[in-house]
Chains A and B, each alone.
Chain A
């Protein structure tokens, strides 16, 4: 705290209590206490050039109207672009992470949509 030397003694000095630009942030996937290895830096998936024939996964957060919203939206996408397979998963509860991400990944979707109904 060398900056202290140049500070005005007639001013009140206090320490910043909140998140700052240099505050480190953890990937929540690294926080599993059983010792899961850090998964390294993640990148966004490349954008799809077309939706035609693509496989769409839908994730319903299990709140009211999420299913209706996703169904209507996927129907519209299908009519407009001609999707391939469409499959929906429903979380057991909105308040915790989906327990079947591996299952969705194994289905190998080209894109995924989620909606938070409420």
Chain B
């Protein structure tokens, strides 16, 4: 159980609030909503929990985030109380050791936690799953990711240039939250694939590099489309090349429909992609190859070998369907040294 947050008294001016919070390092650089006791109480009520319940210890500082502290940051981010159950599940997911939040928070790599929500709660909170799913214009998408970022800074103590050592960071660190477009997914949704019921709601977290587009308006069949996708997935210089690990493929509904129409299951897609993803070794410098040999068995090959598997296993390719009309998909590489975590929303 945690003690209550301290009540602060400031001049009755929004400018004062913004300046004070910014000077304390409590914001992401954007203006915040004042976390008044009344707003925070409403946010806590939205969680169905009491404010003193401890949710998770947040790396790298490992301070415990209580429901109250989460609610304060959620108010600041502009969340509605109905988002609280998603936020609680998201924090729990990130605290599972295999996600490696400590590494993610402190690395020089441009990584951000990406949240994908499944189940009926998407509609309850009007979370965008369709057109412009990674873009602007949707309160739930914009503020859920933002609230988590504020918690990562204010409770986890991931401070840019001090403990968060990202060389450049990524715009995804402001907010990166989407819903799966289950209604236009020709296969079972992500959470059902991983053992939950379709009527359950869930959030999964992926240690994401910024997404990269796959624009393919012209491939005549599944094989041609997968040729294009596999080439985008084989980025030279990404962490997945040097460290292996998982990648997320976000298929647009129209690309997913092409693959399904040609009789492919999700497993067919991931095995086909894995088979195609062969890294041409002469595209990687000798210096980097020498270092990678200490990190990935895949690079320890006989002299004269020209190609190696880009990923170790097909199962490292996770697939969801999201977005709207248009023949585009998105590849979301990862930090590499991380495993996705799926958390049921209760």
Contact = CB atoms under 8 A, between A and B. Distances in A.
Given A4-B37, A10-B12, A28-B62, A95 B5 contact: no
Interface in A39-54: none
Given A31-B57, A62-B294, A64-B291, A14 B62 contact: no
A17 B64 contact: no
Nearest to A93: B337
B100 interface: yes
B7 A4 contact: yes
Interface string B96-114: 1100101100011100000
Nearest to A17: B72
Size bracket of the A interface = 35 or more
Interface string A102-118: 00000000000000001
B59 interface: yes
Contact of A16 (B6, B108, B109): B6
A20 B5 contact: yes
A11 interface: yes
Given A15-B8, A17-B35, A24-B2, A33 B64 contact: no
Contacts, number: 129
A90 B155 CA distance: 31
A12 B96 CA distance: 38
Nearest to B151: A17
18 contacts: A1-B7, A4-B37, A8-B9, A12-B36, A13-B7, A14-B7, A14-B34, A15-B7, A17-B5, A24-B2, A25-B64, A33-B96, A33-B97, A92-B295, A93-B337, A95-B103, A95-B109, A96-B100
A18 B9 contact: no
Interface in B225-276: 243
A118 B64 CA distance: 30
A62 to B, nearest CB: 6
A80 interface: no
A26 interface: yes
A95 B103 CA distance: 5
B61 interface: yes
B286 interface: no
B121 interface: no
A12 B291 CA distance: 55
Contacts of A4: 7, 37
Contacts of B6: 15-16, 20
A1 B37 contact: yes
Interface string B42-85: 00000000000010010101111000110011001000000000
A3 B9 CA distance: 11
B62 A26 contact: yes
A113 B69 CA distance: 37
Contacts of B36: 12-15
A22 interface: yes
Given A12-B16, A24-B2, A93-B295, A17 B76 contact: yes
B207 to A, nearest CB: 10
